[in-house]
Amino acid sequence: MPAQISLLSSVFLVIASMLGSGILTTTGSILGLVKSPGAVMLVWLIAGAHAVLGAYCYGIIVRRIPANGGEASILRAYFSPALGEIAGWVSFVVGFAASNAASAIGFGAYLEKVNPALLHTFAAGKGAALCAIVLVTLLHSSTGPLGIRIQTGMAALKFTMLGGLTLWGLSHATAASTAAEASAPSVAASFGPAWGLAIMFSMFAYLGWSAAIYSAAETREARRTVPRAMLAGTVIVLLLYAGVNLALIKHIPLRELAGEKAVIELLVRKLFGLEASTVFSAFVAFALLSSLGASAFLGPRVLQAMLSWYRSPPAPESAPDSPQLPEVRPWVVWLQALLSMCMILSGTFEQILTVTGFLLGIFPILAVLGLYTRAANSPAKVPAPAKWLAAPVFLAGSLLILTLGAIEKPLEMGVATAAIMAIFLLRHRARRHSSGSLP
């Protein structure tokens, strides 16, 4: 399959991956943890800065390994095939299937604002979430290259809606801000485990900053295009998220915002009235399909890359600028969809969000640690700003956030650890019973 993803499409792929259920649903949960508007803004800025550092570090990595597969390919090249395969399965099952489940539940929450009676017959929105998964899976399993064009258009629509709403909200905040600020607690929660969990929730909203690396092999001039796309997309979304949250805080009393999932619908209701919020919720629900589609497009690339290792293991040091992979098979796309649907039926939004945050915080740490390996520094050394500034700050921040989050939610941390162990044991068992030799 020829490399076909341009710089613009790659940027919108990153934006579409980031503009999912996180920004539309998590601010209320974050407020419940850190208690004050200023703390909410700080949480979003910290998580955004963390994402920018990660995008910069991954840009250094992709110049050396312009291959599909994300962390799976990185850890395979820098550490070991076993670690790469474990990361690949976690990425496929959790990073894409589970995050798609969370986004689909967010889709159902917004659709419920449009027609509560209809959603009541759909088992509180889960039926709508399942339908959304099927719809985007049909798109990316049958349309081929057209799917990425449709994906880009939907991402542009969602970005335009959120950007327009943010600008309107900020420019008309003078009258509404008094009532919202009057209900604000005077003191934020003390820094501790609750902050770690709040930042983890915000990091979930930024997760797509690394999206472009998963399809690097299909990107034109990947070594230049992918790093630029990740940085540009992450900075754009950081600015948008800051604006959205500032508008929310200015217009919505905190007692109403805390714990609310459909926060954007609440903002539109405050700005334009109930009828407008119903129409806007329909548009948001439709736009959420773009983030579902991004995961449906990228996730199968991870599994497809892993399948290609069994046939002809690549040599990262000599990889061409845009290595070619076989076209992704439809059954791989549907396998991811099936996993997402199982998670929708068995878990809640908060459970999926927390476990996903834990698991997806581990492998970026290992990937960035790879910058210190001999493989990453041969033949050319990693630039000093990445090795001695960006990477250490990213690693320290990631470890602190995961530690605080684990203290606040030990059960979810246990589930995440058990998931990694289960994947490791399944891989070990498969190696022992396989007639061939797995990498």
Predicted local distance difference test score (pLDDT) of residue 58 = 94
| Contact partners, residue 280, CB within 8 Å, separation at least 6 | 161, 165, 264, 265, 268, 272
Predicted local distance difference test score (pLDDT) of residue 43 = 94
Position 392 confidence tier, pLDDT thresholds 50, 70, 90:
very high
Look at residue 285 and tell me whether its pLDDT is greater than 90: no
Is residue 135 a contact partner of residue 333, using CB atoms and an 8 Å limit?
no
Predicted local distance difference test score (pLDDT) of residue 159 = 83
Place of tokens 């990947």: 222
Position 265 confidence tier, pLDDT thresholds 50, 70, 90:
confident
List the structure tokens of 92. Answer: 């496929």
Nearest-CA neighbor of 67 among 229, 208, 213, 209? Answer: 213
Look at residue 143 and tell me whether its pLDDT is greater than 80: no
Mean pLDDT, range 206-213, rounded to an integer: 84
Mean pLDDT, range 137-147, rounded to an integer: 65
Mean pLDDT, range 38-53, rounded to an integer: 94
Higher pLDDT, 53 or 137: 53
Higher pLDDT, 321 or 289: 289
Superfamily of domain 7-433: Amino acid/polyamine transporter I (1.20.1740.10)
Higher pLDDT, 84 or 182: 84
| Contact partners, residue 130, CB within 8 Å, separation at least 6 | 104, 341, 344, 345
Look at residue 124 and tell me whether its pLDDT is greater than 70: no
What pLDDT digit, counting tens, does each position of 80-118 carry? 888 888 888 887 877 778 777 777 877 777 777 676 665
Predicted local distance difference test score (pLDDT) of residue 435 = 46
pTM (predicted TM-score): 0.78
What pLDDT digit, counting tens, does each position of 159-181 carry? 888 888 889 888 876 654 544 45
DSSP 14-33: HHHHHSSHHHHHSHHHHHHH
Average pLDDT, rounded, for the chain: 78
